[in-house]
Structure 1
Amino acid sequence: MRYDPPRPAGRLLLTPQDKDAPARVRRLRRLGLGERSEPAFDAFADRLAHVAAAPYSMVNFIDEQQQFFAGLHTPDGFARGGPAASAGGSELDLGRYMARDHGFCPHVVVRRKALVLEDVCDYPRFAGNPVVDEFGVRSYLGAPLLDSSGIALGTICVVDIEPRPWGRAGLETIKAMAAELTGQLERREEVHGI
């Protein structure tokens, strides 16, 4: 007979407390970010996916309740913002919104550091995340968008449904691209006088 002890809240992962969320939301609203997608963010996500050779990439802004993919790249044959058949034949909804307790980007924002998960199943803390079972996520690489005010506005990330050896090169790439996008956001603020 086998005994499996109960897991708290149905999984090991707990979304980290985000004390900076109210300040981040005020900053995002001031910049006009986090409520609508923009072609420039989709183009950035497309380029990020190409550079990382990843099937999925996102520009993600996070508030107190949810995540918003202002930029989204999905594999050919998948619709941005709508359901499409996954490799396994089931429906996969790749909408622009995701609950704050789904995925790994909320951890990146709170940690204010990049996160490399070559195989999420190797980390009990992350293997229990709903995106692993619901979407088949197996590999994640993300970095925070840290602006000059010191606030982590969100993240950029790449995701794969297979384990991926991102390595140091992947880490350096995601960090450099996060810095590039943060610079674009700050120039946007200067140009528009926000």
Structure 2
Amino acid sequence: MRYDPPRPAGRLLLTPEDKEAPARTHRLLQLGLGERPEPALDAFAGHLASLTGAPYAMVNFLGEKGQFFAGLYAPDTGLVMKEDGTRPVMGRFLPRDHGFCPHVVVRHKALVLEDVRDYPRFAGNPVVDEFGIHSYLGAPLIDTTGTVLGTVCVADVSPRPWGRTGLETIKATAADLVVRLEGPGNGGALL
């Protein structure tokens, strides 16, 4: 399978190049993750939403083809109303150039965006216009091999002051989930 890295938009590379995508895809397959929704990860996302008070929470695995939310907490209310009177549906798959998780994965570090519109690099992201996402908090899922499997993240349609408490919470939940994902003997026993 061929992997095409993102192309720069003008002088600013909006979606970072992910040279680790092939290795990550292989590791996710070893662990049996990233190809189907997982009820336990949906529950984990719901718990994360409850912990942070965010209306949306995800456990996101990034592969060569894009992003997959194996864990998703996304109630139908709250997303922006479109001109035709409908609301967008947040599904389980996003292209690689949507959202902020690709930045977390490539950086290997948590990302706090209290108002994404304050950052030119992030303000033009498709999730801002398509879903009305205005704040984001995410942390990488780094396993014992050093592979970043994906992220745990929360989002809101309003700006949010996540603060140090939010950052510590998202990092702690990411670390906890990695232990659960790798399971006894690192065989990928899920929760």
User: Could you list the runs of 5+ residues in structure 1 that have no partner in the other structure?
Assistant: 1-7, 79-83
Regions of 4+ moved over 6 Å: none
Q: What is the CA RMSD across the aligned residues, in angstroms?
A: 2.1
Note if 1:158 corresponds to 2:154: yes
Q: Residue 66 of structure 2 corresponds to which residue in structure 1?
A: 66
Note if 1:141 corresponds to 2:144: no
Q: CA deviation digits over 1:25-52, x for unaligned, max 9?
A: 0000111100001110000000000000
Q: Shift in Å at residue 90 of structure 1? A: 2.6
For 2:146 and 2:79, the matched residues in 1 are separated by 38
For 1:57 and 1:160, the matched residues in 2 are separated by 9
Identify which range, 183-192 or 116-125, moves more after superposition. Answer: 183-192
Q: Residue 28 of structure 2 corresponds to which residue in structure 1?
A: 28
Contact 1:140–1:157, Cα closer than 8 Å, also in 2: yes
Q: Residue 41 of structure 2 corresponds to which residue in structure 1?
A: 41
TM-score under structure 1 length normalisation: 0.86
Query: Structure 1's 87 and 118: CA in aligned 2 closer, same or farther, altered over 3 A?
Result: same
Based on CA coordinates, which of the two structures has the bigger radius of gyration?
1
Query: Structure 1's 121 and 85: CA in aligned 2 closer, same or farther, altered over 3 A?
Result: closer
Query: Structure 1's 140 and 13: CA in aligned 2 closer, same or farther, altered over 3 A?
Result: farther
Contact 2:79–2:132, Cα closer than 8 Å, also in 1: no
For 2:133 and 2:157, the matched residues in 1 are separated by 5
Q: CA deviation digits over 1:66-114, x for unaligned, max 9?
A: 1000000013xx2xxxxx7845343312111000000000000000000
Q: Residue 175 of structure 1 corresponds to which residue in structure 2?
A: 171
Identity within the alignment, %? 66
- Opposite residue 36 of structure 2, the aligned amino acid is R
Aligned pairs for 1:11-160 within 5 A: 14-75=14-75, 78=76, 86=79, 88=81, 89-160=85-156
Query: Structure 1's 51 and 37: CA in aligned 2 closer, same or farther, altered over 3 A?
Result: same
User: Could you list the runs of 5+ residues in structure 2 that have no partner in the other structure?
Assistant: 1-7
